């Protein structure tokens, strides 16, 4: 198996993730210069195809803002996100404090970093919002949540060929 045969995992956990079926999806995608994906989610199809350009959309503004910030800030943003993954941040109290900050901040950079933190610390990576639009997924109680640094770097490099839209 060559490196090009390996599938690239998305850096986010995501309900409805297409990673497990990406080969079946690729088999029916048209040969074209641009892939238009209206439900990008974790980006599994984007990460595992090779089009000249991508138009990637999703209804979740937190997700699209995260992708745009990662695309524009790259390694600096990845380093910033990594600061949220320390042993003292893997507690229920810290999780709910960060969830409260996420729900109240207007700082899109902070909110995007917290989106990754919440995604990796929440129960099963669940992304759920209440009727007021607040993220309300519960704490996941993981022994040592994984920070997806290499996966984020790959996404960043590949995102140079993409336009993200909510």
**What are the pLDDT digits (tens) for 10-62?**
999 998 889 999 999 999 999 999 999 999 999 999 999 999 999 999 999 99
Backbone angles phi, psi at 6, to 5 degrees: -75, 140
| 2, pLDDT greater than 50 | no
Please give the model's pTM, rounded to 2 decimal places.
0.94
Two tokens, residue 55: 């138009």
Band (pLDDT 50/70/90 cuts) for residue 6 is: low
Q: Are 44 and 22 in contact (CB under 8 A)?
A: yes
Distance of alpha carbon 136 from alpha carbon 128, whole angstroms: 6
* Strand 53-57 relative to strand 162-165, pairing: parallel
Pick the closest to residue 39 from 8, 70, 16, 21 (CA basis). 16
Residue 31: burial class (beta carbons within 10 Å; 0-12, 13-18, 19+):
exposed
């Amino acid at each position: 198996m060559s490196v090009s045969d390996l599938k690239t995992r998305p850096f986010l956990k995501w309900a409805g993730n297409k990673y497990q079926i990406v080969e079946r999806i690729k088999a029916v995608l048209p040969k074209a210069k641009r892939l238009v994906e209206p439900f990008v989610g974790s980006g599994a199809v984007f990460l595992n195809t090779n089009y000249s350009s991508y138009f990637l959309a999703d209804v979740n503004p937190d997700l699209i803002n995260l992708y745009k910030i990662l695309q524009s800030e790259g390694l600096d943003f990845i380093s910033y996100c990594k600061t949220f993954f320390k042993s003292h941040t893997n507690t229920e109290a810290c999780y709910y404090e960060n969830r409260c900050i996420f729900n109240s901040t207007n700082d899109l950079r902070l909110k995007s970093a917290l989106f990754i933190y919440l995604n990796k610390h929440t129960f099963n990576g669940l992304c759920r919002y209440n009727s007021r639009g607040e993220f309300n997924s519960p704490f996941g109680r993981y022994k040592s949540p994984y920070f997806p640094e290499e996966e984020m770097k790959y996404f960043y490099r590949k995102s140079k060929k993409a336009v993200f839209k909510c």
